[in-house]
Amino acid sequence: MPVQNKLSISYNWLSVALNLPLFSTFDYKSINSVVIGSRVVVPFGKRTLIGIVINVLERPSIDVSLVREIIEVLDDLPPFSPDWLNLLEFTADYYQRPFGEVVFSVIPAPLRSVSSYRGKKRTSASSVIKSDKSNDCISIVPSSFVDKRESILNEDQERAVNIISLLKEFKSVLLYGITGSGKTEVYLRVARNILHNSSKQILFLIPEINLTPQLEKAVRNSLADIVNDDEIVVMHSKLTMKSKLDVWSRAQNSKARVLLGTRMSIFTPFPNIGLIVIDEEHDTSYKQQNGLRYSARDLGVWRARYLNVPIILGSATPSLETWNNAEIGHYLRIYLRKKAREFSAPNIKLINTKKYRPKNGLTVPLINAIEDRLNKKEQSLVFINRRGYSPVFCCFSCYWISKCTRCTAFTVLHSDAVNKEGKLHCHHCGYCMIVPLSCPECGDQDLRPIGSGTQRVEEALVGLFPNANIVRIDADSTRRKGSTASLLNDVNNGSVDILIGTQMLAKGHDFLRVSLVGVIDSDAMIFCQDFRAPEHLFSQLMQVSGRAGRHLNGGEVLIQTSFPDHMIYKFVIDQNYEDFARYSLNLRSTANLPPYSYQALLSAESENLSTVMDFLHRSKKIIKEKVSLEFDHVSAITCYDPVPSRIVRIADVERAQILVESKHRLLLITFLKIWLKHVNGLVINKKKIRWYIEVDPLEI
């Protein structure tokens, strides 16, 4: 409400969020009324910043004379809607970050920088958002690729589409369908119904940027007769800033009706969402592991509930959290039990590496099976989740092992086929050095690689099958923009015989001619301390197995392991997710682990570990000393002792953490708010110690 000041001018008092690491918002005034959600240019100290109006106040919270006037209201985009602001407010509150910092970390850079609007060549606000067209966000799939055929749904799919299409309000639907059961077709049919019968928009999240072309093609194909090509937009981190801005603007201006994108897309302002789809909902890439550590899947569920629209969570191996939600009736579970096409599920077998010793990662039975597929003119996929040549480089005289000087980690040997020289890389800090000719410790020249990565397996396969067309797909071979898409195109066009790759290949891809999948070295995850490791291993093995025999009969999966009797492989061979989930949930329940409890991880880092540990011990101590005076439910919170992180030192920074846990989510969040305020008070020198909180961490 306008309040008069001494000069009898009626001002509107605005609460404005700024891009600052502070939990407060800031008061400003404006002669004209400003709509909540507008972006404004404001003075801040000697600087000029962009802010977002989040409230109109009756009166300012500080002395009227101190309130400064906004400089400009930006009108290049409509104001952010209240539901978008609510999503961001929830995100900030739940993940314990300042609201301004959260908002400004999710909007495209040009919209948050004053220089975009008031740079040297000052332009009008509207010129930041220039055009709606001519960007890679609109179409990266040539229209000639678009296959106009429509498949006839099978019984399970039809039932799923009918049930979901009838939902007129919020419901979390778990679409639990085995790999290759045609989940995509279900999403698309439901989307078609919504787009056809209403003016609503569809937000479609996928885990992997590399899946975008394939899914984009399916989406354009399926929706071609309902929406225009330019009403379908894609969003992912590899887009140029200009394209991101364009997608954002099309979405916010309601010019887009379908947005297909990776996790960041959850924050796109879409004014009229009618359905949210989260494909491969179990995938860990929905969790951002740095900065704002959010889960796009969990925020998707929140956003759907807030908007009162259905959300489909699709997976062949749902996360145990989601599965549990279905078990207790919070989510509606719909089954797709059969392959969409009439092909049998692949046969999964183990190769005991204690019996068949691998050479360069490959055992004889796997090599024979690859040869057999070559003879049949079918493709083989060799999956090894480790890039580089070998994970360890060692002196066989004194057993020196090459380590990173900046991290507590081994360096990985990478071969450079072009320059014919090897390099040692640290995958944690980027450190890189030329391979020494002799051992730095004893001078001996008997230096050898131990273990295998994708490059070594590739080299071995090229040696074994010189006439085969072999392609390696990992983060190193696909650095060039567009290279993954073109390699994957080659795979489906049939010009590739053997495909070697990391987890980039394991999920979602609908390979037409792959009939054999070989898995190398999956044991590493069995002995990982993280309680989620078995869940991730099981889902990874099921996902990669699901790439075999999608369009061919006789699909086969061979998993090399030294521990064939391990429980997890029993479930994998039986391809029985439900028994695996039952078994795992039972263990989690006994140990009171998620989904039966909620966790947060306080991590701290500094140049030396003792400073970090001391800080964390003090952080724990203040729970009793201070937090308990303000929070009545401290007994509902378990705070474990500080421990050094799994990799203690990365890039010369030492790290440690404290885990806190509660059976009650709300209590945990309330506790964190109070606790972190006191934790912050412990930091005297921000340069000496840095800390952050991660709510619902995926790795502990």
Ligand X SMILES: Nc1ncnc2c1ncn2[C@@H]1O[C@H](COP(=O)(O)OP(=O)(O)OP(=O)(O)O)[C@@H](O)[C@H]1O
> What is the C-alpha separation between 210 and 241, in angstroms, rounded?
19
Please provide the distance, in angstroms rounded to a whole number, between the alpha carbons at the two ends of the chain. Answer: 49
**Options 135, 184, 360, 645; binder of ligand X; rule CB under 6 A:** 184
Q: Any contact of residue 508 with ligand X (CB under 6 A)?
A: yes
Give yes or no for residue 344 binding ligand X (CB under 6 A).
no
Question: With contact defined as beta carbons under 8 Å apart, do 563 and 523 qualify?
Answer: yes
**By rule CB under 6 A, what string of x and - marks binding of each residue 282-321 to ligand X?**
----------------------------------x-----
Q: Could you give the angle at the alpha carbon of 299 between the alpha carbons of 293 and 300, nearest 5°? A: 135
The least CB distance from residue 519 to ligand X, in Å, is 16
Q: Distance between CA atoms of 506 and 520, rounded to whole angstroms?
A: 13
Q: Does the annotation place 528 within a ligand binding site?
A: no
Q: Which residue is nearest to ligand X (CB)?
A: 182
State which residue, 408 or 489, has the beta carbon closest to Zn ion: 408
Closer residue to ligand X, CB minimum distance, 185 or 216: 185
Strand runs labelled E in 236-371 = 258-261, 273-278, 310-315, 332-336, 347-352
Q: Annotated binding residue at 432? A: no
Question: Is position 394 annotated in a ligand binding site?
Answer: no
Q: How many other C-beta atoms can be found within 10 angstroms of the C-beta atom of residue 299?
A: 22
Which of 151, 240, 486, 608 touches ligand X by CB under 6 A?
A: 151
CA torsion sign, 234 to 240 to 244 to 245? negative
User: Could you tell me how many helices (H) and strands (E) the chain has, helices first?
Assistant: 19, 30
Is residue 220 near ligand X by the rule CB under 6 A? Answer: no
Distance CA 586, CA 599 (A): 18
Interface with ligand X includes 180 (CB under 6 A)? yes
- Which of Zn ion, ligand X, none sits in contact with 532, Cβ below 5 to 8 A by type? none
The partner in contact with residue 207, picked from Zn ion, ligand X, none with C-beta cut-offs of 5 to 8 angstroms by kind, is: none
Contacted entry of ligand X, Zn ion, none for residue 508, CB cut-off 5 to 8 Å set by kind:
ligand X
Selection from ligand X, Zn ion, none that 181 binds (CB < 5 to 8 A by kind) is: ligand X
Q: Name every residue whose Cβ is closer than 8 Å to that of residue 368 and which is 6 or more positions away in sequence.
A: none
Between 539 and 657, CB nearer to ligand X: 539
Q: Can residue 182 be called a binding residue for ligand X (CB under 6 A)?
A: yes
Stretch binding ligand X (CB under 6 A), from 179-187, 283-291, 351-359, 572-580: 179-187
How many chain residues bind Zn ion (CB under 5 A)?
7
- Residue from 79, 449, 518, 546 in contact with ligand X (CB under 6 A): 546
Residue 547 three-state SS: coil
Q: What is the DSSP letter of 297?
A: H
The stretch among 373-381, 428-436, 492-500, 569-577 that binds Zn ion (CB under 5 A) is 428-436
Query: Which string of x and - marks every residue 323-342 that binds ligand X (by CB under 6 A)?
Result: -----------------xx-
Cα–Cα distance list, 120 to 49, 117, 476, 510 (Å): 15, 9, 39, 50
Q: Distances from the Cα of 38 to the Cαs of 54, 74, 247, in angstroms?
A: 8, 7, 19
Q: By CB neighbour count within 10 A (0-12 exposed, 13-18 middle, 19+ buried), where does 346 fall? A: buried
Interface region with ligand X, contact rule CB under 6 A, candidates 106-114, 181-189, 369-377, 684-692? 181-189
Q: Residue 559: name the closest of 369, 338, 377, 378 by CA.
A: 369
Identify the residue among 25, 135, 179, 645 touching ligand X (CB under 6 A).
Answer: 179
Nearer to Zn ion, 429 or 573 (CB): 429
Task: Report the residue number, 77 or 188, with the smaller CB distance to ligand X.
Answer: 188
Whether residue 404 is annotated as binding a ligand: the answer is yes
Query: Of the candidates 609, 549, 540, which has an alpha carbon nearest to the alpha carbon of residue 571?
Result: 540
Q: Do 260 and 241 meet the contact criterion of CB atoms below 8 Å apart? A: no
Pick from 205, 264, 277, 426 the residue near Zn ion by CB under 5 A.
426
Tell me how far apart the alpha carbons of residues 97 and 672 are, in angstroms, rounded to a whole number. Answer: 11
- Side-chain half-sphere exposure of 286, counting CA atoms within 13 A: 22
- In 3D, which of 270, 265, 271, 269 has the Cα closest to residue 288? 265
Q: Which is nearer to Zn ion, 50 or 656 (CB)?
A: 656
Out of 76, 101, 156, 185, point to the residue binding ligand X (CB under 6 A). Answer: 185
Q: What share of the chain is helix, strand, coil (3-state, %, to 5)?
A: 35, 25, 40
Residue 269 contact partner, candidates ligand X, Zn ion, none, CB within 5 to 8 A by sort of partner: none
Q: How many residues bind ligand X (CB under 6 A)?
A: 20
Q: Does 457 bind ligand X (CB under 6 A)?
A: no
- Chain residues that interact with Zn ion, rule: CB under 5 A: 404, 406-407, 426, 428-429, 431
- Chain residues that interact with ligand X, rule: CB under 6 A: 151-154, 157, 177, 179-185, 316, 340-341, 508, 510, 546, 550
Binding-site residue set for Zn(2+):
395, 398, 404, 407, 426, 429, 439, 442
